[in-house]
Amino acid sequence: MSGRENKTGPVESASRRSFLGAGSAAIAAAAFGAFAAKGQEREDKQMGQQVSGWAHILDGKVAVVTGAARGIGRAAAIALARSGAHVAGIDICATVDPHSGVTPSTRQNLEETGALVKAAGVRWRSLVIDQRDLPALRGAAAEIEREFGAIDILFANAGIQQFKPLLELEDPDWNITIDVNLTGTANAIRAFGPAMVKRRKGRIIVTTSTQGQHGTLFGAAYSASKWGIIGLMKSAALELGKYGITVNALVPGLIDTPLTRHEERYAQALEVGAKTPSGDVHKDEEAAKEALKAKSPLGVPWIEPADVAPVVVFLASDAARMVSGATYDVTAGDSANNAA
Ligand SMILES: NC(=O)c1ccc[n+]([C@@H]2O[C@H](COP(=O)([O-])OP(=O)(O)OC[C@H]3O[C@@H](n4cnc5c(N)ncnc54)[C@H](O)[C@@H]3O)[C@@H](O)[C@H]2O)c1
């Protein structure tokens, strides 16, 4: 039983006692328990731990995570590790798109993910690779198999985003978004899939976006790449099912990562609501926060990466063995606006 279960167990029984009409001591215990549970919840969130109840669900499995240096990749790597999987984390750790407002990740970021993974008591390996480089990914697959003995899980998650009106896009803007997001995700499946085919077992999870389910103002290349990833995922699910491999897509809403926390992104969020950005990053961040909160069904401007990670753990587990070719949304309610 995990530490978190230990803490929430008495809370539940105390609540039940007070509901049954026990004295004030029980009510006080329930109140304290609820307070303690809230504190633990907050702590878990900060630590990127939302799945402590699944401590052994992936025991001994080997997971490859791309875009592992930070953000969603880091949160998923930690959650996979805390569920028992060894993790190989891949990231470019460098500037990818000079025209994007997103701060590049660093080797130190990747090592920080490694430290958090290792703290869960599992093995970690970091690999600095550009996912556009298929031979390098294939080399990594051979290395990971040699070192860990297998590859059970692939979370193909790395991606980039830039905003520019479609008619102003230069060839490099279009090409880099499609190359990194769509071709890079396909490369990861092509590089790590054969290890799963060999063992007739595997779990592949790719990261798309709500912007792969609808159009995006000033984000045509990104939207196109993310729609493409859904087609890629469904085709791979058809082809790989006979080898016992499932392929599914994570659909994050707006997640609090460096990808979304910069001036260009705040301006786009305001322009979607027909508001004019001021050009002052702090003012625009506040205005974007209010606008995003107002249109979120759960009243959340940005979702924590740790709130996305449990879906990756579920899809990677045996519990999801009959789930393939599907999309799983974590959008704080935005999915309610989609047709289906
Ligand atoms: N943050 C969001 O709101 C959101 C929403 C929907 C989908 N997504 C998708 O989730 C994924 C992760 O995004 P994030 O928000 O964690 O962003 P992030 O920028 O924090 O992390 C992305 C990581 O991918 C790495 N990366 C980029 N290009 C690479 C390449 N060519 N090869 C290897 N690594 C590369 C980056 O260095 C970075 O560490 C992306 O595919 C993104 O499109 C994010």
Task: Please name the residues in contact with 268: beta carbons below 8 A apart, sequence gap of 6 or more.
Answer: 163, 217, 218, 219
Gap from CA of 158 to ligand 1 centroid (Å)? 4
The per-residue pLDDT for 142 is 98
Tokens of 9: 């167990």
Q: With a 6 A CB cut-off, is 219 part of the ligand 1 pocket?
A: no
User: What's the mean pLDDT in 53-75?
Assistant: 94
User: What's the mean pLDDT in 204-219?
Assistant: 96
Per-residue pLDDT tens over the stretch 6-62? 322 322 222 222 222 233 333 233 332 333 333 334 444 444 455 556 789 999 999
Instruction: Look at residues 152, 170, 161, 261 and name the one whose alpha carbon lies nearest to residue 207.
Output: 161
**Catalytic pick from 222, 243, 266, 328?**
222
Mutate to test the pocket of ligand 1, among 255, 307, 327 (most ligand atoms within 8 A of CB): 255
Helix (H, G, I), strand (E, B) or coil at 327: strand
Tokens of 322: 């009959």
Cα distance between residue 312 and residue 325, in whole Å: 14
State percent of the chain over pLDDT 70. Answer: 84
User: CB under 8 Å, gap of 24 or more: what pairs does 120-123 form?
Assistant: 120/78, 120/81, 120/82, 122/81, 122/84, 122/85, 122/86, 122/87, 123/86, 123/87, 123/148
The per-residue pLDDT for 15 is 29
Unique residue bearing structure tokens 């159009």? 215
The per-residue pLDDT for 33 is 34
Per-residue pLDDT tens over the stretch 267-299? 888 998 888 998 899 999 999 999 999 999 999
Name the more confident of 47 and 191.
191
Cβ atoms 45, 304 nearer than 8 A: yes
| pLDDT score of 246 more than 90 | yes
Per-residue pLDDT tens over the stretch 301-318? 999 999 999 999 999 999
User: What's the mean pLDDT in 62-76?
Assistant: 98
User: What's the mean pLDDT in 117-121?
Assistant: 98
Name the more confident of 96 and 55.
96
Instruction: Look at residues 340, 258, 262, 333 and name the one whose alpha carbon lies nearest to residue 298.
Output: 333
What is the position in ligand 1's atom list of the atom closest to the CA of 69? 39
User: CB under 8 Å, gap of 24 or more: what pairs does 30-38 form?
Assistant: 36/7, 36/11, 37/7, 37/8, 37/11
The per-residue pLDDT for 52 is 56
Cβ count near 215 (within 10 Å):
10
The per-residue pLDDT for 150 is 98
The per-residue pLDDT for 139 is 98
Residue 339: pLDDT band with limits 50, 70, 90: confident
Q: How far is CA 310 from the centre of its chain?
A: 9
Parse the chain into domains and list their residue ranges. Answer: 1-46, 54-261+302-337
Helix (H, G, I), strand (E, B) or coil at 310: helix
Tokens of 315: 């899809």
The per-residue pLDDT for 49 is 52
Per-residue pLDDT tens over the stretch 253-267? 999 999 998 888 898
* CA distances from residue 283 to 217, 270, 288, 290 in whole angstroms, order as listed: 21, 11, 9, 11
| pLDDT score of 92 more than 90 | yes
Q: With a 6 A CB cut-off, is 303 part of the ligand 1 pocket?
A: no
Task: Out of 2.60.120.380, 3.20.20.70, 3.40.50.720, 3.30.1330.10, select the CATH number for domain 54-261+302-337.
Answer: 3.40.50.720
Cβ atoms 200, 255 nearer than 8 A: no
Cα distance between residue 143 and residue 157, in whole Å: 20
Helix (H, G, I), strand (E, B) or coil at 126: strand
User: What's the mean pLDDT in 244-256?
Assistant: 98
